[in-house]
Amino acid sequence: MLEQMHDLSGKVAIVTGGSRGIGRAICLALAEAGADILLNYSRSDKEADKVKKEVEKFGRKCVTVRANVGNFQQAQGLGKAVMSHFGKVDILVNNAGINRDRTLKRMTFEQWNEVIQTNLSSVFNCTKAVIDPLSERGGVIISISSIIGEMGNLGQCNYASTKAGIIGFTKTMARELAKSNIRVNAIAPGFVETDMLGTVPEDIRDQIKKEIALGRFGTPEEIAMSVVYLCSTAAGWITGVTLRINGGHYI
Ligand SMILES: NC(=O)c1ccc[n+]([C@@H]2O[C@H](COP(=O)([O-])OP(=O)(O)OC[C@H]3O[C@@H](n4cnc5c(N)ncnc54)[C@H](O)[C@@H]3O)[C@@H](O)[C@H]2O)c1
């Protein structure tokens, strides 16, 4: 019965920023659970093609679509693409995100705005893009927030604002969309070993690890497993929550 509950066979999922890091792991975990994937990415065709091949190894269909999800029109294109390739959509994972870290004094408006558009407006844009077909059948929306949205962090006022904003958006959507049988949740990872974390200097990485009860960074797969769970019928009564996955960083 447990296995059946986590079976996503026949489902269609959009994953934004699916070409690497946490997004890649989410694509692979959803595919392993049985879902077909529309993989969105912004830059590297090569990375996206590689993940597409990995998804196809699970016997699932994968369509890659290059689009800047921070741009409203381009994000609407994802909605059109999922309908033309798959004829439906069941799951939206808003994962795409960037950081442009500076203290407030040094941060330019462009750095503020780029992060707001990419991390937060994208969540609005992509949800709008799929809301009509999703409402017809019911479904799941998951957005990737961050521990930084709850804790704040030096040099990350833009990033922290977007990740806190995702939590407010999620709670509001959970209320608005419950009548359409759409569950809306967020995941707030702690520090996860990806290219994004690679920009943090070694001494600061060591300091952060000391603050984590389990003493290590997370893996993209450890976030992806929870995405599968939240998409599954095992989580059928879960909506409006933010699942904190951080190795005991924020207890
Ligand atoms: N790595 C961490 O420690 C950590 C912690 C908490 C939350 N997160 C969040 O998890 C998500 C994934 O992070 P990651 O560490 O895998 O990062 P990453 O940099 O490895 O991957 C980011 C992905 O987003 C895509 N992307 C960036 N801008 C885009 C745009 N405008 N349109 C479409 N796609 C775009 C990139 O192509 C890439 O596939 C982000 O939202 C990030 O904020 C990461």
| 250 part of a folded domain | no
| 249 part of a folded domain | no
Mean pLDDT of 88-99: 98
The H-assigned helical ranges of 87-154 are 109-115, 122-137, 147-151
| 131 part of a folded domain | yes
Give the domain range for residue 80.
Answer: 2-244
Cα 42-47-48 angle, rounded to 5 deg: 65
pLDDT confidence of residue 132:
97
- Active-site annotation holds for 159: yes
Euclidean distance between CA atoms 126 and 232, whole angstroms = 21
**14, 16, 20, 22: which to mutate for ligand 1, most atoms within 8 A of CB?**
22
Task: Kindly report the average pLDDT of the chain as a whole number.
Answer: 96
**Which tens digits make up the pLDDT trace of 69-89?**
999 999 999 999 999 999 999
| 126 part of a folded domain | yes
Mean pLDDT of 120-140: 97
Euclidean distance between CA atoms 6 and 20, whole angstroms = 24
250 pLDDT band, cuts 50/70/90, is confident
182 pLDDT band, cuts 50/70/90, is very high
| 187 part of a folded domain | yes
Query: How far is the centre of ligand 1, averaged over its atoms, from the C-alpha of 227 (Å)?
Result: 15
Look at residues 106, 96, 122 and name the one whose alpha carbon lies nearest to residue 27. Answer: 96
| 251 part of a folded domain | no
Which residues are near ligand 1 (CB < 6 Å)?
Answer: 16-17, 19-23, 40-43, 68-70, 95-98, 118, 144, 146, 189, 191-192, 194-197
Q: Cα torsion for 68, 39, 168, 129, to the nearest 10°?
A: 70
Euclidean distance between CA atoms 94 and 52, whole angstroms = 18
Q: Which residues, in sequence order, are bridge partners of residue 140? A: 91, 183
Asked if residue 198 has pLDDT above 80, the reply is: yes
Euclidean distance between CA atoms 244 and 118, whole angstroms = 22
**Which tens digits make up the pLDDT trace of 202-224?**
999 999 999 999 999 999 999 99
Categorise residue 205: left if φ over 0, alpha if ψ from -120 to 50, beta otherwise.
alpha
Mean pLDDT of 112-121: 98
CATH (domain of 177): 3.40.50.720
Tokens of 98: 């960037």
| 221 part of a folded domain | yes
| 146 part of a folded domain | yes
Q: pLDDT: is 195 or 213 the higher one? A: 213
pLDDT confidence of residue 196:
84
**Total tally of structural domains belonging to the chain:** 1
Tokens of 89: 């959509």
pLDDT confidence of residue 237:
98
197 pLDDT band, cuts 50/70/90, is confident
* Phi and psi, residue 64, nearest 5°: -100, 135
4 pLDDT band, cuts 50/70/90, is confident
Claim: this prediction has a pTM higher than 0.95: yes
pLDDT confidence of residue 119:
98
